[in-house]
Structure 1
Amino acid sequence: MAGLAGTGLSGAGAVGMALPAPPAGPPAQVGGLRVCERGDTTYLLDRSGRVRSLTYARLVPDNRLWVRQSYDRAGRLTGLSVSWSGFAGRLLDVRGSFDARGRLVRESGFRARGVTTPLGSYLRAVPRGLTC
């Protein structure tokens, strides 16, 4: 099999091959932020335990939705990015900026014709007392 060349694996041995679980250890770090995964949502927490980013994705055949919410040091929503594509191609690739009161003040990017869902409808609430 051409895709396995140089890996030391034969095509017959690769099918059904199980990989070992990663070793248990402390939460991963990204740029000084802790990574915390809960279900289909990934959170980045600062040293004080405040959520600085929330990301989730929905992947189904011929459809991909990816959402990222950003927060300031006080825990206020500052930005939202939504990327959505389907079998027909790109449907939504939009970024939004929020003021200190959580109101959408700017939206930029691409929306396919007929995609009018408000950007705020993609927001997820940050759970209280999230710990990793």
Structure 2
Amino acid sequence: MMPRVLAVLTLAVLSTCGAAGLPPVPYRNSASSAPASAGGLRACVIGETLYLLDSAGRVRSLSYARLVPDNTLRVRQSYDRNGKLTGASVLWSGFAGPLLDVRGAFDGRGRLVKETGFRAKGMGTPLRSYLRAVPKGLKC
């Protein structure tokens, strides 16, 4: 009888939260908790920011997340071989549902040329305001 009760409780929790609805464990402040490499890129974690660097040490991707009990903000930025911003995505959800799910493409001068996705009513903050600068002389 007890295994059946446990199975029903587990099913109830998963159907309420959703197995994929649980937040992932954020990276810790040490490089040992980040993946060593991905797709030929080397991972480096400084503070709450994850950097992916190519073999020449250039930042190709930067991502960070703000996780609090009632909302989550995830930002990912991508760069070309010359260190120019090429794309960004911002995913922000609150206790009432999604607020932002936006992707942007940037030209060689860093200007936003295309934005796609969803913005909740009142969420008119420019995409660039969510981006972080790549630190000069990043050492990982």
Segments ≥4 residues shifted beyond 2 Å: none
Corresponding pairs, count = 111
Secondary structure at 2:115 match in 1? strand
Indicate whether 1:30 and 2:58 are aligned. no
Mapping of 1:20-99 within 5 angstroms?
A: 28-99=36-107
- Measured in 1, the distance between the counterparts of 2:51 and 2:66 equals 16
Indicate whether 1:130 and 2:138 are aligned. yes
Indicate whether 1:107 and 2:115 are aligned. yes
Unaligned stretches of 5+ residues in structure 2: 8-31
Which has more helix, going by share of residues?
2
Q: What do you get for the CA RMSD once the two structures are aligned? A: 1.7
What is the TM-score when the length of structure 1 is the normalising length? 0.80
Instruction: State percent identity of aligned pairs.
Output: 72
- Measured in 1, the distance between the counterparts of 2:90 and 2:110 equals 17
What is the TM-score when the length of structure 2 is the normalising length? 0.76
Secondary structure at 1:74 match in 2? coil
Unaligned stretches of 5+ residues in structure 1: 4-23
Shift of the alpha carbon at 1:95? Answer: 0.1
